[in-house]
Protein backbone atom coordinates (compact mmCIF):
# COMPACT_ATOMS: atom_id res chain seq x y z
CA UNK A 1 0.00 0.00 0.00
CA UNK A 2 2.56 2.42 1.15
CA UNK A 3 4.80 1.81 -1.79
CA UNK A 4 1.88 2.20 -4.14
CA UNK A 5 0.79 5.55 -2.82
CA UNK A 6 4.24 6.81 -2.36
CA UNK A 7 5.88 5.34 -5.40
CA UNK A 8 5.28 8.40 -7.52
CA UNK A 9 7.37 10.76 -5.56
CA UNK A 10 9.87 8.56 -3.87
CA UNK A 11 11.89 8.66 -7.04
CA UNK A 12 12.51 12.29 -6.38
CA UNK A 13 15.86 12.90 -4.78
CA UNK A 14 14.59 15.84 -2.77
CA UNK A 15 12.36 13.51 -0.87
CA UNK A 16 14.49 10.85 0.84
CA UNK A 17 12.98 7.37 0.70
CA UNK A 18 11.95 6.07 4.11
CA UNK A 19 14.51 3.67 5.54
CA UNK A 20 11.99 0.93 6.17
CA UNK A 21 11.05 0.65 2.53
CA UNK A 22 12.88 -2.60 1.89
CA UNK A 23 11.11 -4.24 4.82
CA UNK A 24 7.80 -4.07 3.02
CA UNK A 25 7.03 -7.50 1.75
CA UNK A 26 3.72 -6.90 0.01
CA UNK A 27 3.67 -6.40 -3.72
CA UNK A 28 2.42 -3.09 -5.10
CA UNK A 29 -1.32 -3.15 -5.55
CA UNK A 30 -1.40 -2.96 -9.30
CA UNK A 31 1.07 -5.78 -9.70
CA UNK A 32 -1.05 -8.18 -7.65
CA UNK A 33 -2.44 -10.99 -9.77
CA UNK A 34 -6.08 -10.32 -10.48
CA UNK A 35 -8.01 -13.35 -9.18
CA UNK A 36 -10.73 -12.96 -11.78
CA UNK A 37 -8.42 -13.12 -14.72
CA UNK A 38 -5.69 -15.39 -13.47
CA UNK A 39 -4.12 -17.38 -16.23
CA UNK A 40 -5.30 -15.00 -18.94
CA UNK A 41 -2.89 -12.79 -20.79
CA UNK A 42 -5.11 -9.72 -20.77
CA UNK A 43 -5.25 -7.72 -17.60
CA UNK A 44 -7.84 -5.07 -16.99
CA UNK A 45 -6.83 -2.11 -14.91
CA UNK A 46 -9.46 0.54 -15.31
CA UNK A 47 -8.22 3.94 -14.34
CA UNK A 48 -10.03 5.61 -11.52
CA UNK A 49 -9.84 8.48 -9.08
CA UNK A 50 -8.95 7.45 -5.52
CA UNK A 51 -10.37 9.71 -2.82
CA UNK A 52 -9.70 10.70 0.76
CA UNK A 53 -11.90 13.12 2.71
CA UNK A 54 -12.09 14.60 6.18
CA UNK A 55 -14.12 17.31 7.92
CA UNK A 56 -14.02 19.01 11.30
CA UNK A 57 -16.02 21.75 13.02
CA UNK A 58 -12.73 23.14 14.29
CA UNK A 59 -11.96 24.36 17.80
CA UNK A 60 -13.54 27.83 17.87
CA UNK A 61 -16.84 27.18 16.09
CA UNK A 62 -19.82 25.36 17.49
CA UNK A 63 -21.35 24.09 14.29
CA UNK A 64 -20.32 23.07 10.78
CA UNK A 65 -21.28 25.16 7.76
CA UNK A 66 -19.08 23.31 5.23
CA UNK A 67 -20.43 20.71 2.82
CA UNK A 68 -18.58 18.34 0.59
CA UNK A 69 -19.41 15.85 -2.13
CA UNK A 70 -17.33 13.20 -3.90
CA UNK A 71 -18.05 10.68 -6.61
CA UNK A 72 -15.67 8.43 -8.49
CA UNK A 73 -16.71 6.10 -11.29
CA UNK A 74 -15.09 4.38 -14.20
CA UNK A 75 -17.11 4.74 -17.35
CA UNK A 76 -16.80 2.69 -20.51
CA UNK A 77 -17.44 -0.81 -21.73
CA UNK A 78 -15.44 -3.83 -22.85
CA UNK A 79 -13.38 -1.81 -25.34
CA UNK A 80 -12.60 1.44 -23.57
CA UNK A 81 -12.79 3.06 -20.17
CA UNK A 82 -12.28 6.47 -18.68
CA UNK A 83 -12.06 7.60 -15.09
CA UNK A 84 -14.59 10.21 -14.00
CA UNK A 85 -14.98 12.07 -10.75
CA UNK A 86 -16.95 14.91 -9.20
CA UNK A 87 -15.44 16.69 -6.19
CA UNK A 88 -17.11 19.65 -4.50
CA UNK A 89 -16.55 21.74 -1.41
CA UNK A 90 -18.83 24.59 -0.32
CA UNK A 91 -18.27 26.79 2.71
CA UNK A 92 -21.49 28.40 3.92
CA UNK A 93 -21.46 31.91 5.25
CA UNK A 94 -23.44 34.18 7.42
CA UNK A 95 -23.68 32.33 10.76
CA UNK A 96 -27.25 33.12 11.79
CA UNK A 97 -28.32 33.18 8.13
CA UNK A 98 -28.04 29.39 7.79
CA UNK A 99 -24.74 29.07 5.98
CA UNK A 100 -24.94 25.30 6.31
CA UNK A 101 -28.18 25.22 4.32
CA UNK A 102 -26.67 27.24 1.48
CA UNK A 103 -23.56 25.07 1.27
CA UNK A 104 -25.63 21.90 1.38
CA UNK A 105 -27.98 23.10 -1.39
CA UNK A 106 -24.95 24.16 -3.45
CA UNK A 107 -23.16 20.80 -3.43
CA UNK A 108 -26.32 18.72 -3.93
CA UNK A 109 -27.68 20.89 -6.73
CA UNK A 110 -24.38 21.14 -8.58
CA UNK A 111 -23.65 17.41 -8.24
CA UNK A 112 -27.21 16.49 -9.20
CA UNK A 113 -27.20 18.73 -12.24
CA UNK A 114 -23.87 17.37 -13.50
CA UNK A 115 -24.85 13.75 -12.91
CA UNK A 116 -28.12 14.23 -14.74
CA UNK A 117 -26.27 15.46 -17.84
CA UNK A 118 -23.56 12.82 -17.67
CA UNK A 119 -25.95 9.99 -16.98
CA UNK A 120 -26.06 8.69 -20.58
CA UNK A 121 -22.27 8.51 -20.53
CA UNK A 122 -22.13 6.84 -17.11
CA UNK A 123 -24.84 4.36 -18.10
CA UNK A 124 -22.99 3.82 -21.37
CA UNK A 125 -25.95 4.66 -23.59
CA UNK A 126 -23.87 7.41 -25.22
CA UNK A 127 -20.18 7.78 -25.81
CA UNK A 128 -20.09 11.47 -26.52
CA UNK A 129 -21.48 14.52 -24.81
CA UNK A 130 -23.54 17.02 -26.73
CA UNK A 131 -22.97 19.80 -24.27
CA UNK A 132 -19.47 21.05 -23.50
CA UNK A 133 -18.26 20.33 -19.97
CA UNK A 134 -17.78 24.02 -19.22
CA UNK A 135 -21.41 24.74 -20.12
CA UNK A 136 -22.56 21.81 -17.97
CA UNK A 137 -20.63 23.30 -15.03
CA UNK A 138 -21.89 26.82 -15.66
CA UNK A 139 -25.51 25.67 -15.76
CA UNK A 140 -25.13 23.60 -12.60
CA UNK A 141 -23.91 26.67 -10.73
CA UNK A 142 -26.80 28.76 -12.07
CA UNK A 143 -29.21 26.10 -10.83
CA UNK A 144 -27.55 26.15 -7.41
CA UNK A 145 -27.77 29.93 -7.25
CA UNK A 146 -31.48 29.82 -8.05
CA UNK A 147 -32.08 27.06 -5.52
CA UNK A 148 -30.33 28.97 -2.71
CA UNK A 149 -32.15 32.20 -3.47
CA UNK A 150 -35.43 30.33 -3.44
CA UNK A 151 -35.01 28.02 -0.45
CA UNK A 152 -32.71 30.03 1.78
CA UNK A 153 -32.68 33.65 0.63
CA UNK A 154 -30.05 35.78 2.29
CA UNK A 155 -27.60 32.98 2.90
CA UNK A 156 -24.50 32.39 0.82
CA UNK A 157 -21.70 29.98 0.22
CA UNK A 158 -18.40 29.49 -1.56
CA UNK A 159 -18.23 26.75 -4.16
CA UNK A 160 -15.29 24.91 -5.64
CA UNK A 161 -16.45 22.08 -7.89
CA UNK A 162 -14.25 19.85 -10.06
CA UNK A 163 -15.49 17.60 -12.81
CA UNK A 164 -12.64 15.25 -13.73
CA UNK A 165 -12.88 13.23 -16.91
CA UNK A 166 -9.94 11.34 -18.42
CA UNK A 167 -7.03 13.74 -18.20
CA UNK A 168 -8.80 17.08 -17.88
CA UNK A 169 -10.55 18.70 -14.95
CA UNK A 170 -13.15 21.40 -15.45
CA UNK A 171 -13.47 23.69 -12.46
CA UNK A 172 -16.31 25.95 -11.35
CA UNK A 173 -15.19 28.28 -8.60
CA UNK A 174 -16.61 31.13 -6.61
CA UNK A 175 -15.44 32.46 -3.24
CA UNK A 176 -12.37 31.51 -1.25
CA UNK A 177 -12.35 27.73 -0.98
CA UNK A 178 -9.41 26.41 -2.96
CA UNK A 179 -8.29 23.70 -5.34
CA UNK A 180 -4.60 22.82 -5.40
CA UNK A 181 -2.44 20.60 -7.55
CA UNK A 182 0.43 18.82 -5.85
CA UNK A 183 3.20 17.54 -8.07
CA UNK A 184 6.50 15.78 -7.44
CA UNK A 185 9.34 17.97 -6.28
CA UNK A 186 7.38 19.94 -3.69
CA UNK A 187 5.30 21.83 -6.21
CA UNK A 188 1.96 22.91 -4.75
CA UNK A 189 -0.13 25.35 -6.75
CA UNK A 190 -3.51 26.89 -6.03
CA UNK A 191 -5.37 26.73 -9.34
CA UNK A 192 -8.33 28.76 -8.09
CA UNK A 193 -8.34 32.46 -7.36
CA UNK A 194 -9.85 33.64 -4.08
CA UNK A 195 -12.63 36.15 -4.55
CA UNK A 196 -11.67 37.88 -1.32
CA UNK A 197 -10.95 41.53 -0.76
CA UNK A 198 -7.50 40.75 0.65
CA UNK A 199 -6.57 38.64 -2.35
CA UNK A 200 -7.81 41.34 -4.70
CA UNK A 201 -5.59 43.86 -2.95
CA UNK A 202 -2.71 41.42 -3.33
CA UNK A 203 -3.44 40.96 -7.03
CA UNK A 204 -3.48 44.70 -7.47
CA UNK A 205 -0.08 44.90 -5.78
CA UNK A 206 -1.49 46.86 -2.85
CA UNK A 207 -0.40 44.36 -0.21
CA UNK A 208 2.04 41.45 -0.11
CA UNK A 209 1.13 37.76 0.12
CA UNK A 210 2.10 37.67 3.81
CA UNK A 211 -0.01 40.73 4.56
CA UNK A 212 -2.92 39.06 2.78
CA UNK A 213 -2.83 36.08 5.15
CA UNK A 214 -3.16 38.38 8.15
CA UNK A 215 -5.33 41.01 6.55
CA UNK A 216 -8.42 41.99 8.58
CA UNK A 217 -10.54 41.61 5.44
CA UNK A 218 -9.16 38.19 4.66
CA UNK A 219 -12.59 36.65 5.05
CA UNK A 220 -14.52 39.30 3.18
CA UNK A 221 -15.66 37.95 -0.17
CA UNK A 222 -16.65 40.04 -3.13
CA UNK A 223 -18.29 37.10 -4.88
CA UNK A 224 -20.37 34.27 -3.54
CA UNK A 225 -23.13 31.89 -4.45
CA UNK A 226 -26.43 33.14 -3.04
CA UNK A 227 -26.80 36.43 -1.12
CA UNK A 228 -27.13 38.50 -4.29
CA UNK A 229 -28.93 38.01 -7.59
CA UNK A 230 -25.83 38.46 -9.69
CA UNK A 231 -23.57 35.53 -10.36
CA UNK A 232 -20.06 35.54 -11.69
CA UNK A 233 -18.30 32.23 -11.60
CA UNK A 234 -14.79 31.26 -12.75
CA UNK A 235 -14.93 28.30 -15.12
CA UNK A 236 -11.78 26.78 -16.56
CA UNK A 237 -10.22 23.50 -17.60
CA UNK A 238 -6.75 22.20 -16.80
CA UNK A 239 -4.82 18.97 -17.10
CA UNK A 240 -5.07 16.68 -14.08
CA UNK A 241 -1.63 16.36 -12.47
CA UNK A 242 -0.36 12.90 -13.20
CA UNK A 243 1.65 11.89 -11.30
CA UNK A 244 0.32 14.10 -8.52
CA UNK A 245 -2.65 14.93 -6.34
CA UNK A 246 -5.62 17.25 -6.35
CA UNK A 247 -6.55 18.89 -3.08
CA UNK A 248 -9.77 20.80 -2.47
CA UNK A 249 -10.28 22.54 0.86
CA UNK A 250 -12.09 25.32 2.69
CA UNK A 251 -10.24 28.27 4.21
CA UNK A 252 -10.31 26.45 7.55
CA UNK A 253 -7.34 24.54 6.17
CA UNK A 254 -5.42 26.85 3.86
CA UNK A 255 -5.89 29.88 6.09
CA UNK A 256 -4.31 28.08 9.03
CA UNK A 257 -1.43 25.98 7.71
CA UNK A 258 0.96 26.91 4.92
CA UNK A 259 1.08 25.38 1.46
CA UNK A 260 4.45 23.91 2.32
CA UNK A 261 3.06 22.13 5.39
CA UNK A 262 0.14 20.81 3.33
CA UNK A 263 2.54 19.34 0.80
CA UNK A 264 4.70 17.79 3.51
CA UNK A 265 1.78 16.12 5.25
CA UNK A 266 0.31 14.71 2.03
CA UNK A 267 3.67 13.45 0.87
CA UNK A 268 4.45 11.69 4.13
CA UNK A 269 1.02 10.13 4.67
CA UNK A 270 0.42 6.43 4.24
CA UNK A 271 -2.85 6.80 2.36
CA UNK A 272 -5.12 9.46 0.97
CA UNK A 273 -7.44 9.02 3.95
CA UNK A 274 -4.74 9.40 6.61
CA UNK A 275 -3.39 12.41 4.69
CA UNK A 276 -6.77 14.12 5.01
CA UNK A 277 -7.04 13.26 8.72
CA UNK A 278 -3.56 14.59 9.38
CA UNK A 279 -4.28 17.81 7.48
CA UNK A 280 -7.38 18.42 9.62
CA UNK A 281 -5.44 17.59 12.78
CA UNK A 282 -2.70 20.04 11.84
CA UNK A 283 -5.29 22.80 11.32
CA UNK A 284 -6.91 22.06 14.67
CA UNK A 285 -3.49 21.92 16.36
CA UNK A 286 -2.88 25.41 14.99
CA UNK A 287 -6.01 26.73 16.70
CA UNK A 288 -8.81 25.43 14.47
CA UNK A 289 -10.46 28.86 14.09
CA UNK A 290 -12.90 27.71 11.41
CA UNK A 291 -14.64 24.67 9.94
CA UNK A 292 -12.24 22.45 8.01
CA UNK A 293 -13.05 20.37 4.92
CA UNK A 294 -10.56 18.48 2.78
CA UNK A 295 -10.83 16.29 -0.32
CA UNK A 296 -7.67 14.64 -1.67
CA UNK A 297 -7.75 12.94 -5.08
CA UNK A 298 -5.27 10.84 -6.97
CA UNK A 299 -5.52 9.26 -10.40
CA UNK A 300 -4.34 5.64 -10.50
CA UNK A 301 -1.38 5.00 -12.74
Long-range contact set of residues 111-120: C-beta below 8 Å, sequence gap at least 24: 111/69, 111/71, 111/86, 111/140, 111/161, 113/139, 113/140, 113/143, 113/144, 114/86, 114/140, 114/161, 114/163, 115/71, 115/86, 118/84
From the CB of 121, what's the least distance to another protein, in Å? 8
Mark out the alpha helices in the chain (DSSP H runs): 2-10, 99-122, 133-151, 197-203, 209-214, 251-254, 259-268, 272-285
Task: List the one residue from 139, 238, 259, 261 that touches another protein (CB under 8 A).
Answer: 238
Site map 179..218 versus another protein, x via CB under 8 A: ----------------------------------------
Task: List the one residue from 15, 48, 74, 237 that touches another protein (CB under 8 A).
Answer: 237
Q: Are 105 and 151 in contact (CB under 8 A)?
A: yes
Which whole-number Å values give the CA distances from 18 to 13, 21, 278, in the listed order? 12, 6, 18
Near another protein by CB under 8 A, which window of 100-108, 127-135, 196-204, 208-216? 127-135
Q: CB-wise, 82 or 219, nearer to another protein?
A: 82
Q: Are 173 and 234 in contact (CB under 8 A)?
A: yes
Site map 128..167 versus another protein, x via CB under 8 A: xxxxxxxx-----------------------------xxx
Q: CB-wise, 83 or 226, nearer to another protein?
A: 83
From the CB of 92, what's the least distance to another protein, in Å? 26
Q: Restricting to residues 23-82, which ones interact with another protein according to CB under 8 A?
A: 80, 82
- State yes or no: residue 170 binds another protein (CB under 8 A): yes
Report the C-alpha gap between 17 and 35 in whole angstroms. 31
- State yes or no: residue 124 binds another protein (CB under 8 A): no
- State yes or no: residue 236 binds another protein (CB under 8 A): yes
- Maximum alpha-carbon separation in the chain: 66
From the CB of 234, what's the least distance to another protein, in Å? 7
Binding residues for another protein, per CB under 8 A?
Answer: 80, 82, 127-135, 165-168, 170, 234-239
Amino acid sequence: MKKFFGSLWRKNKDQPAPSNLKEISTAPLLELPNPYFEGKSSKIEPKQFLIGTCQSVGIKRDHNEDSLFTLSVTIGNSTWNSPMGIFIIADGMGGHHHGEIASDIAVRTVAGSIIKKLHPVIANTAKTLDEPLQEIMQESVVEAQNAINKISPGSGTTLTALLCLDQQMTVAHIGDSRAYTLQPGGRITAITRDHSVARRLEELGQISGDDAINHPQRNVLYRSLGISESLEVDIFTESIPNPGYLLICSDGLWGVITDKEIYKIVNAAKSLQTACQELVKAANDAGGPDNISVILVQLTQ
